[in-house]
């Protein structure tokens, strides 16, 4: 019995040491996270996924690597319902810079979704590939506000707002919106829609103006419709897009893809990326997202805020 306990304690000690070693290795890898180096002619492979809020590393990676002489082009996988207007337009502008100033081709492969702000970004590409069932388009702008006035009245709570002008608290959840405020916001997003349509018109040369005016009403359409009417260029998979940009850049049908690593900014983010905590964290983000985006002009696919 004594020997049994000795063996058991030894096994326990070894397991404990192993767990500590793995933990230290994980923390060490977090602290010493480094990007892979470019050693051969490559295509920069980036992914535009989820709601575009300006808080991801897409632009950071694009700006960091696009000037490298080893990078001969940019291939982007898109699976996004869109997002905030400003960040979507910034992605569009920086992709145009790659094409026009660096003379490097940009190709987009649309997966499940390439809607609204994600489509806005995609039209900066030389060529857009889409699957037949890809949901695309949603060319339009949306703003949503919450009026909690009746809830506060039920709770017998009063709120007082002091402003320097009648529009300073427009969109406040504490009161109903006036008609002049509605017209103000409507005029603003109408102007942003013109910017969206201008970007699509400039980026998709095969798209007729009549089709753009007819279908730029916020509707979503599939990949077959998009190619037929000029909103996308070709039906094809990611592999088709990869082959296309490889041949376009002279790197062959199977070009080397360089994919930067997402670098966590802190240990919590590292744990979020490497443990089951990720699913619960993403669920929490999905729950609070409508609050984060309320009152902002959005290039966002209909229904995303209400999920």
**Residue pLDDT tens, the chain, 307 long:** 555 455 555 545 555 555 555 454 454 444 445 556 678 999 999 999 999 988 778 999 999 999 999 999 999 999 999 999 999 999 999 999 999 999 999 999 999 999 999 999 999 999 999 999 999 999 999 998 888 888 888 988 888 889 899 989 898 888 899 999 999 999 999 999 999 999 999 999 999 999 999 999 999 999 999 999 999 999 999 999 999 999 999 999 999 999 998 765 555 554 555 554 445 555 544 555 566 677 778 878 877 654 4
Question: How many Cα atoms sit within 13 Å of 165 on the Cβ side?
Answer: 4
- The predicted pLDDT at position 160 comes to 84
Query: For residue 214, is it left (φ>0), alpha (ψ between -120 and 50) or beta?
Result: alpha
Catalytic residue among 23, 29, 166, 168: 168
pTM score, whole prediction = 0.79
Q: Which domains does the chain have, with CATH numbers?
A: 42-140+196-300 (3.90.226.10)
- The predicted pLDDT at position 193 comes to 96
- The predicted pLDDT at position 3 comes to 52
CB 105 within 8 A of CB 71: no
- The predicted pLDDT at position 39 comes to 83
80 belongs to the catalytic site = no
Look at the chain and count its residues.
307
296 belongs to the catalytic site = no
Catalytic residue among 80, 116, 138, 172: 116
């Amino acid at each position: 019995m004594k020997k049994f306990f000795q063996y058991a304690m030894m096994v326990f000690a070894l397991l404990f040491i192993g767990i500590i070693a793995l933990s230290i290795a994980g923390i060490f890898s977090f602290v010493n996270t480094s990007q892979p180096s470019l050693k051969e002619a490559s295509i920069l492979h980036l992914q535009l996924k989820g709601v575009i809020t300006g808080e991801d590393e897409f632009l950071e990676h694009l700006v960091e690597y696009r000037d490298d002489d080893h990078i001969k082009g940019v291939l982007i996988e898109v699976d996004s319902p869109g997002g905030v207007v400003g960040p979507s337009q910034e992605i569009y502008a920086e992709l145009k810079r790659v094409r026009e100033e660096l003379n490097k081709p940009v190709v987009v492969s649309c997966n499940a979704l390439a809607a609204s702000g994600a489509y806005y970004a995609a039209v900066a590409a030389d060529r857009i590939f889409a699957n037949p069932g890809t949901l695309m388009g949603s060319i339009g702008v949306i703003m949503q506000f919450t009026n909690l006035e009746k809830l506060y009245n039920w709770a017998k709570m009063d709120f007082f707002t002091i402003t320097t002008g009648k529009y300073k608290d427009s969109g406040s959840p504490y009161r109903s919106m006036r008609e002049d405020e509605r017209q103000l916001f409507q005029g603003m997003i109408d102007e942003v829609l013109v910017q969206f349509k201008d970007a699509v018109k400039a980026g998709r040369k095969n798209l007729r103006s009549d089709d753009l005016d007819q279908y730029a009403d916020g509707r979503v359409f599939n990949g077959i419709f998009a190619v037929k009417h000029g909103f996308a260029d070709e039906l094809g998979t990611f592999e088709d897009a990869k082959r296309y940009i490889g041949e376009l850049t002279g790197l062959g049908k199977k070009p080397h893809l360089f994919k930067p690593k997402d670098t966590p900014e802190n240990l919590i983010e590292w744990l979020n990326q490497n443990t089951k905590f990720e699913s619960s964290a993403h669920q929490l983000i999905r729950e609070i997202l409508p609050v984060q985006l309320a009152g902002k002009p959005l290039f966002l696919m209909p229904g995303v805020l209400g999920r």
